[in-house]
Structure 1
Amino acid sequence: MKVISDLEIAQTLHLPNECEELQLLMMKYECAMTEMITKLEVLSSEMSLKFQRNPFESIRCRLKSPQSIYDKLCSHGYEVSYQSIRDNLNDIAGVRVVCSFIDDIYLLASTLKMQDDLLVIQEKDYIIQPKNNGYRSLHLIVMVPIFLMKEKEYMKVEVQFRTIAMDFWASLDHQLKYKRADIADADAISEEMKISAELVSQLDNHMLQIRERIDAGEK
């Protein structure tokens, strides 16, 4: 488990008097992230038996760094404080689930939403309504219970669902967006990326159709 040092909190977040509280807060976020991964792995085991295939290819997780927390608070005009971090940031703990097929995304998400110990407080479907740059993914902000020594507490975890193709596009877009910012034809390249995102979407739909034909032929 990663522990944020007093020095990181003092130098990056400029909160030397809230070190202990912030270290405990980050520990809670990491525990909530672990709980979410466990839930997804349990679903994967059940679905693998039921459907004879794994509903996702990989799970990745990350905890926002103190610098990222500070930058996001400042960019949105929020106060930099312990309470502001709790109240205003939904993505300190993040889990990314990469699926083979689009229908697996919605199956996993709907199954998670039915679990009575979880509370989905926000859902953004960028698959049906992509971002302006072409980005596609399904995002859930979920309140996840963690069980401490003397209490149960709910912590926010952002869960992103993507197909392999969506993840490929998003990874390359992330790499290229900083490099293209200062070049003359940046707008033209951004348009090319949007076209590429549409091709990725068509590929996802085509691969799903092929799998459905195979599934139908096996019955």
Structure 2
Amino acid sequence: EKIALRGLSVENLAQDMQDIAGLRVMVQFVDDVDEVLALLRRRSDMTIVSERDYIRNRKHSGYRSYHVIVSYPVDTIDGRKEILAEIQIRTLAMNFWATIEHSLNYKYQGNFPEEIKLRLETTARMAYELDEEMRKIRDDIRDAQLLFDPINRTLKDSVGNSDDTDEDLFG
């Protein structure tokens, strides 16, 4: 079905299609996407062919994800061949939205009523806001842990929470 939609021939399928293989990497936080990208860029066994950042530049539908097309060598019976694979990197919230939107889109065959399109865009925005709020919570927890960590005593001293500071003031 996709072959016909894209105007491809079965004979030239391997050459014509970019996403012969696919992999989805789900991360907890948006900034984890950059860490995964850094790991991919350091790999010497594959070549990055293209990148599309739908996280910072979301699609009109609200879809967010980071897509990387890589060329990867595979040993076959006919010798070594380069295959193209698409790696999608997204948060759990982005994946939740995209999975449900995809199943609804399939049922509507891509022809959503305008009200449904707007509601889907709203829920995509809510998923992104959820990612942002969870990042802030994570950062607040990390900051609080630093304040209570005895190894970081100098940090606590500078905030005025140590016993030594109290003695100097009242001593």
Q: What TM-score do the two structures reach when normalised by structure 2? A: 0.76
Q: SS of 2:83's equivalent?
A: strand
Of 174, 190, 199 in structure 1, the residue corresponding to residue 117 of structure 2 is 190
Gaps of 5+ in 2: 147-171
In 1, Cα distance between the equivalents of 2:91 and 2:131? 8
Q: SS of 1:121's equivalent?
A: strand
Gaps of 5+ in 1: 1-70
In 2, Cα distance between the equivalents of 1:115 and 1:208? 27
In 1, Cα distance between the equivalents of 2:108 and 2:16? 31
Cα distance, 1:151 vs. partner?
4.2
Cα distance, 1:154 vs. partner?
2.2
Q: Say if 1:175 and 1:106 are closer, same or farther in 2 by CA, change over 3 A.
A: same
Aligned partner of 2:22 in structure 1 is 94
Cα distance, 1:77 vs. partner?
2.1
For residue 162 of structure 1, what is the amino acid of its counterpart?
R
Cα distance, 1:163 vs. partner?
0.7
Q: Say if 1:77 and 1:151 are closer, same or farther in 2 by CA, change over 3 A.
A: closer
Of 81, 105, 110 in structure 1, the residue corresponding to residue 10 of structure 2 is 81
For residue 75 of structure 1, what is the amino acid of its counterpart?
L
Correspondence list, 1:199-214, <5 A = 199-214=126-141
Does the 8 Å contact 2:3/2:10 carry over to 1? no
Q: Say if 1:149 and 1:177 are closer, same or farther in 2 by CA, change over 3 A.
A: closer
Q: What's the Cα RMSD here?
A: 2.2
In 1, Cα distance between the equivalents of 2:70 and 2:20? 12
Cα deviation, 1:173-209, whole Å, max 9, x if unaligned, reads 11212334599x8111111100110111111011111
Correspondence list, 1:39-118, <5 A = 71-78=1-8, 80-82=9-11, 84-118=12-46
Is 1:145 paired with 2:73?
yes
Q: Say if 1:145 and 1:215 are closer, same or farther in 2 by CA, change over 3 A.
A: farther
Does the 8 Å contact 2:67/2:86 carry over to 1? yes
In 2, Cα distance between the equivalents of 1:96 and 1:182? 23
Is 1:178 paired with 2:106?
yes
Is 1:135 paired with 2:59?
no
In 2, Cα distance between the equivalents of 1:134 and 1:87? 30
Q: Say if 1:116 and 1:181 are closer, same or farther in 2 by CA, change over 3 A.
A: closer
In 1, Cα distance between the equivalents of 2:80 and 2:143? 46
Cα distance, 1:134 vs. partner?
0.5
Q: SS of 1:203's equivalent?
A: helix
Larger Rg: 2
Aligned residues: 146
For residue 199 of structure 1, what is the amino acid of its counterpart?
M
Cα distance, 1:164 vs. partner?
0.7
